[in-house]
Structure 1
Amino acid sequence: MLKQIQEESFDLLRELIRIQSFSKEEDKTANLIADFLESRSVKTHRKMNNVWAYNKHFDAGKPTLLLNSHHDTVHPNSGYTRNPYDAAVEGDKLFGLGSNDAGGCLVSLIGTFLYYYEQENLKYNICLAATAEEEISGNNGLELVLPDLGELEFAIVGEPTEMHLAIAERGLLVLDCIAHGKAGHAAREEGENAIYKAMKDIEWFKSYQFPKTSEVFGPLKMTVTIINAGSQHNVVPADCTFTVDVRVTDAYTNEEVVEMIKAHVECEVKPRSVRLKPSSIDKNHPVVLAGVALGKETYGSPTTSDQALLSIPSVKCGPGFSGRSHMADEFLYVKEVAEGIEGYVGMLKAVVKSMDYEVRSTNS
């Protein structure tokens, strides 16, 4: 059964690669995913380009774990030397846009879901969600359907990590700041120079250390990246605007960080969004311990994914290598889909406590 699922999942990945699915244009890949599941007697749900399903013996009295990955891709970059949609297998590699990020993860999670779909007496329900707009952190992807998925206990988010476990992910705040002064003539020393006021706050952003430090990431990081003020040489500027990139750790929520910053600076601070939250899962969580028992390492991820939209414990894990994402001539090793399914199934064995399950090596 496992081998058949692995083969069908790999074939599904090749079909997905052949369909253009840029962010906001994922309708055809959503159709394919829904058809693939429905043809295997799985009832699917859909909202816009998001598709989700539950295990056959769903029990409202049990907690639910989420298996999530995305089916949108970035645009192919100018360095491609081959057709991004060929899904060509050459040697031990499958080439194609989205093969690594995150097609391999998605089909491996789909295969894992199908493995457990008909099993009874599971400790957890399983919800599979194939979602859209991850590459642009869009509003019509996972965030759109989270209210429809029901109460969730924890999640596995499929992103290429070589099947190692990202047990924490930094959040992101982009702050637009305005230091307000008063315009005047430079020669007569009139006005209140907004640049000088901004400099004081910029120095604070540069040097301030938040009291709490993340066990995984260390200190929270703030970087001033853009600044603009003035219109002509002899006018004292009334306003100085600057932008701050804040990489939030699991030691704070985004809202806590914004309030602490506002309490320390004089400038006006406006976060563009507080959606991209830091996330983490206890290193002693059963799914983490199960992964470690299979020889996987744990680490903190500096990159942002749909994990940032979840308010439940979550781990980021999947086949593929992050360094291949968005590269020209993107590829996935053929064996990585089979290994991904085997890895996910093995991790969940200890969590869902299926009584009739045995993992067999893909080499056996």
Structure 2
Amino acid sequence: MGAQSTETSMPSQSKVLTLLRSLISIRSTTLQEQSVVDFLKTYLTQQGWHVHLQPIPDSSPVRHNIYAYRSKPETDNIRTNVKVLLNSHVDTVPPHIELSEDDENLYGRGSCDAKASVAAQICAVEDLIEEGKIAEEDVGLLYVVGEETNHIGMIAANSLNINAQYLLVGEPTEMMIAEGHKGMIKADIVVKGQAGHSGYPERGKSAIAALVDILHDLQHTEWPSDPVLGATTLNLGQISGGVAANVIPEDARADISFRVSTNAEQVAAQLRTIVEQPRTDGVHVTLTIRGMQNPVRCETVDVDGVEKFVARYFTDIPYLKGTQKPLLFGPGSILVAHSEKEFVKKDDVIRSVRIIKQIVQNLVHRAV
């Protein structure tokens, strides 16, 4: 009842929830983002934005990032100089979950991760411009595809050559401003042994037994810690190996990941030392590091009633090169993102517009 009366009496609040409902209603799982990009192009154009669709190279199906700005420069094809670039992603994890709602929440895939951030950012900067609190040329909007898989959208965005002093990224932060987020390492360990009859274990070399020993050592290693970002943590994501209970396993594999709070190369060096140590059991071990990124330190803004925290998840931030200083804030909780019951609180979406307005105003005033 309260949410309905609030929407009726506050048109700007109704606007953000209406926009968010539209965004959630559009299926945009990774590789299928074009419909929501087309919707945003139409919506932003109607609101007075200049919209540039950037094709993702070598993508099938065809996909685009969307970059928008209000004040068109006289000489450039697109405006590349902004004080604050607001950014989030429009792709979601599968499967698509249809929009539903009750008095308090909006439910559906992408409701918090991260379409609530997209809607709140757009409405916040439009309010600021209409209120005369920032200039049109102060801000730009960049909404990318592929964040949930390989960050291809943000990587492609580098060719836009946007020169921003601050980058405000929208992800579900439970209405807190992030001091940073952890980095990551993805790796796999492949063990090759020698198959044989399980009744004669001395005639074979168990790849699984060797892998178990390695994983035990990894789990009992003290990994580096940071006073702000906390502990580096290890996850044993997938394990496979063997063919039958009565066969000595010739092959075994583990896919692992780290959430890194210090220096990724330092953690990788520890990992190599443990996994690649000389062996006398006759098995062969191969370590392959699939990806590695250092943690991100974020700028912060003091906003009354808004706490600060450290995000344990990873974002698009490291993939946009340049000198911009990153910030991370958005409505919703990462704990319900990707779940069957993904949702965002209506009041949080409305409040996030006010908080983003304060953040952007502060950053515009800080900017040179």
> Scaled by the length of structure 2, what TM-score is found?
0.75
Structure 1 match to 2:90? 71
**Whole-Å Cα distance in 2 between the matches of residues 93 and 61 of structure 1?**
37
User: Which segments of 5 or more consecutive residues in structure 2 lack a partner in the other structure?
Assistant: 1-9, 55-62, 277-284
**Contact 2:80 2:161 survives alignment (8 Å):** no
Shift in CA distance, 341/244, structure 1 to aligned 2, threshold 3 Å: same
Aligned-partner Cα distance in 2 for 1:75–1:301: 23
1:273 maps onto 2:291 in alignment? yes
| Structure 2 counterparts to residues 65-214 of structure 1, below 5 A | 65-75=84-94, 84-85=98-99, 90-116=102-128, 125-134=138-147, 136-181=148-193, 187=200, 189-190=202-203, 192-210=205-223, 212-214=224-226
The 1:351–1:35 alpha-carbon spacing in structure 2 relative to 1, beyond 3 Å, is: same
Q: CA deviation at 1:240?
A: 3.4
Percent of residue pairs bearing the same amino acid type:
24
Amino acid at match of 1:107: A
Inter-partner Cα distance in structure 1 for 2:106 and 2:244: 57
1:294 aligns with 2:304: yes
Contact 1:20 1:85 in 2 (8 A): no
Partners of 1:271 and 1:340 lie apart in 2 by 38
Deviation at 1:117, TM superposition (A): 5.1
Q: State the match for 1:362 in structure 2.
A: none
Which deviates more from structure 2 when the two are superposed, residues 7-16 or residues 52-61? 52-61
**Alpha carbons of 1:176 and 1:219: their partners in 2 closer, same or farther (altered >3 Å)?**
same
| Residue 124 (structure 1) shift | 8.8
Distance 1:261 1:76, change over 3 A: closer
Structure 2: how far apart are the matches of 1:147 and 1:223? 34
Contact 1:123 1:353 in 2 (8 A): no
Query: Which segment drifts farther, 172-181 or 44-53?
Result: 172-181
Contact 1:190/1:236, CA 8 A, preserved across alignment? no
Aligned to 1:359: none
Tell me: CA distance 1:333–1:41, structure 2 relative to 1, closer, same or farther (3 Å).
same
Once residues 141 and 148 of structure 1 are traced to their aligned partners in structure 2, the CA distance between those partners, rounded to angstroms, is 11
- Report the Cα distance in structure 1 between the residues aligned to 2:208 and 2:107, rounded to whole angstroms: 51
The TM-score normalised by the length of structure 1 is: 0.76
Q: Deviation of residue 26 (structure 1)?
A: 1.9
Deviations 1:50-74 (A, max 9, x none): 2112352779896743311222334
Change in CA separation of 1:230 and 1:115 when aligned onto 2, cut-off 3 Å:
same
- Aligned partner of 1:18: which letter? S
Residues 118-151 of structure 1: CA deviation (Å, up to 9, x unaligned): 86986994331122233x3245433332332424
1:23-44 deviation digits (Å, cap 9, x = unpaired): 2222121111111211122111
Give the aligned residue type for 2:44: L
Cα distance in 1 for residues equivalent to 2:307 and 2:120: 19
Q: Tell me what 1:31 maps to.
A: 38
SS class of match (1:141): helix
1:40 to 42, 47, 51: 47
- 2 CA distance for matches of 1:20 and 1:141? 18
What is the aligned length? 334
Distance of aligned partners of 1:229 and 1:103 in 2 relative to their CA distance in 1, 3 Å threshold: closer
3-state SS, counterpart of residue 91 of structure 1: coil
Q: Distance in 1 between matches of 2:69 and 2:137?
A: 11
Q: Distance in 2 between matches of 1:257 and 1:7?
A: 48
Q: Note closer, same or farther for the CA distance 1:220–1:185 as it changes in structure 2 (3 Å cut).
A: same
Sort the Cα spacing of 1:209 and 1:29 in 2 relative to 1 into closer, same or farther, 3 A: same
Kindly state the Cα deviation for residue 352 of structure 1 after the two structures are TM-superposed: 0.8
Residue aligned with 2:310, SS: strand
Distance across 1 between alignment mates of 2:134 and 2:238: 56
Q: Look up the equivalent residue of 1:262 and give its one-letter code.
A: R
Letter in 2 for 1:273: G
RMSD: 3.6
Per-residue displacement from partner, 1:277-328 (whole Å, max 9, x unpaired)? 53222xxx4xx1x3x3422111112233334645664332112333443455
- Structure 2 equivalent of residue 252 of structure 1: 263
1:21 to 19, 25, 28: 28
User: d(CA) in 2 for partners of 1:328 and 1:239?
Assistant: 35
Structure-2 change in CA distance of 1:57 and 1:203 (3 Å): same
Following the alignment from structure 2 to structure 1, what is the Cα–Cα distance between the partners of residues 178 and 240? 37
2:236 matches 1:218: no
Q: CA offset at residue 205 of structure 1?
A: 0.8
Would you say the 8 A contact 1:220–1:248 is kept in 2? yes
- Between the aligned partners of 2:289 and 2:174, the Cα distance in structure 1 is 34
The 3 A distance-change label for structure 1 pair 124 and 197 is farther
SS in 2 for 1:46: strand
- Once the two structures are TM-superposed, the CA of residue 270 in structure 1 deviates from its matched residue by 1.1
Structure 1 residue 306 and structure 2 residue 316: aligned? Answer: yes
Runs of 5+ consecutive residues of structure 1 not aligned to the other structure: 356-364
CA contact (8 A) 2:206 2:249 kept: yes
